[in-house]
Structure 1
């Protein structure tokens, strides 16, 4: 069953796919546990679509910003179609989650938003990678270029093995390169990061002014691509 689900998700355009049984989410914060959304959830299927490596080689303002944002609808379409196929083939229920917004949690003082669940932590629990010091998921094959999606299901699926970290011991390039010093190696100060990163130009188009934490990482393309 897991192989069929994974193969179908990959056939829709995902680059990676992993599985985490609900027993791995014991430390999920209250309000952000998969069962807070879907009480019958027994497993979380996490997948990702990788950005082209070339987007790290250009100014982020327009081209990177556009495609980084537009990847989310592609991820959501995979989640929607896979959820329908899982229900068709195996019965039960499957709940696709939005890869980014909408979400409810917003701390205006800290400028901190939180998705319905933490996609990157779910990806870690599904064996797709570990978190780097820039707080981005680091995958062995695709580095930090994955946009993540997830499906909750009442199918009781076995967890995949956890991944080994590829974050380099002693490396602090992302922390040192952050123009607003928003990184401490464990979390991101969103009140410092957001105003420097996101904005609009004179025409009113959304722009991304900074992605240094992603592009300076020696593992940005993964361990096998260096």
Structure 2
């Protein structure tokens, strides 16, 4: 069942699929369900390459495309699990659906993803994957289906890199390496980031709160973009 579900999601547009044991997390946030599915959809590297100085309209369209696909994939996974007799709750990608006071959700998609072994939380509070960098969006499904799960990622691999720290226009990134269990506010100011995103959104006259600079400047993202560019050159699709 697990491999079949992964194959379906990858075939229908997912870039990464991971399975997480959530039993170490508070029961309320996971709605009493012990396992989670983490789904990632890649953002177009050619578009990401254009936002190191700030977001633009093509990035906004790509952001919406990825979120729409992720919402569909989460529902697809939940329907598949329900058809097998399990409880399953799809969690849409985070857009504007978060607590505006705390600027957080009860169970962040990034937490599920680290538990699924998909990557670590960077200094910028983005999830970073060795293959994709930070150039993707996430959604989750909570379930009582029992999965074989990956080893969770509990520590950052950012090391001494501070490119996102230097690039952030509002100094929201505090240059500290994440470890599982750390309070987000100890290494990253969501309030400053949100204010910057609102400013960009107002300038672009869009409804979404976006920035993306730290995605573009991350060296893991740059490696991903370089590989994508090389593949495109080989196939003549540039």
TM-score with structure 2 setting the length: 0.78
SS of corresponding position for 2:57: helix
**Do 2:123 and 2:174's aligned partners in 1 also have CA atoms closer than 8 Å?**
yes
Alignment partners' CA distance in 2, 1:162 and 1:221: 25
**Do 1:49 and 1:146's aligned partners in 2 also have CA atoms closer than 8 Å?**
yes
Partner of 1:196: 196
Cα deviation for residue 207 of structure 1 reads 6.8
Partner of 1:180: 170
**Do 1:87 and 1:94's aligned partners in 2 also have CA atoms closer than 8 Å?**
yes
Alignment partners' CA distance in 1, 2:110 and 2:76: 21
- May I ask how many residue pairs the two structures share in their alignment? 212
Please show how residues 5-24 of structure 1 align to structure 2 within 5 Å. Answer: 5-23=5-23
Partner of 2:121: 131
Q: CA RMSD in A?
A: 2.6
SS of corresponding position for 2:172: coil
Cα deviation for residue 222 of structure 1 reads 5.2
SS of corresponding position for 1:219: helix
Residue ranges of structure 2 left out of the alignment (5+ in a row): 177-186, 228-238
Please, which of 142, 152, 167 is the counterpart of residue 162 of structure 1?
Answer: 152
Alignment partners' CA distance in 2, 1:130 and 1:66: 26
Partner of 2:93: 99
Residue ranges of structure 1 left out of the alignment (5+ in a row): none
TM-score with structure 1 setting the length: 0.82
Partner of 2:220: 219
Alignment partners' CA distance in 2, 1:180 and 1:128: 28
Partner of 2:47: 55
Cα deviation for residue 212 of structure 1 reads 2.0
Cα deviation for residue 208 of structure 1 reads 6.4
**Do 2:114 and 2:154's aligned partners in 1 also have CA atoms closer than 8 Å?**
no
Q: Deviations over 1:113-149 (max 9, x none)?
A: 2124111111000011111111111111111012101
Partner of 1:65: 60
Partner of 2:134: 144
Alignment partners' CA distance in 1, 2:91 and 2:5: 16
Cα deviation for residue 173 of structure 1 reads 1.0
Range that drifts further, 3-12 or 120-129: 3-12
Call closer, same or farther: CA 1:223–1:58 in 2, change over 3 Å.
closer
Call closer, same or farther: CA 1:71–1:173 in 2, change over 3 Å.
same
Alignment partners' CA distance in 2, 1:218 and 1:169: 12
**Do 2:135 and 2:216's aligned partners in 1 also have CA atoms closer than 8 Å?**
no
Cα deviation for residue 103 of structure 1 reads 4.0
Cα deviation for residue 151 of structure 1 reads 0.7
Call closer, same or farther: CA 1:103–1:181 in 2, change over 3 Å.
same
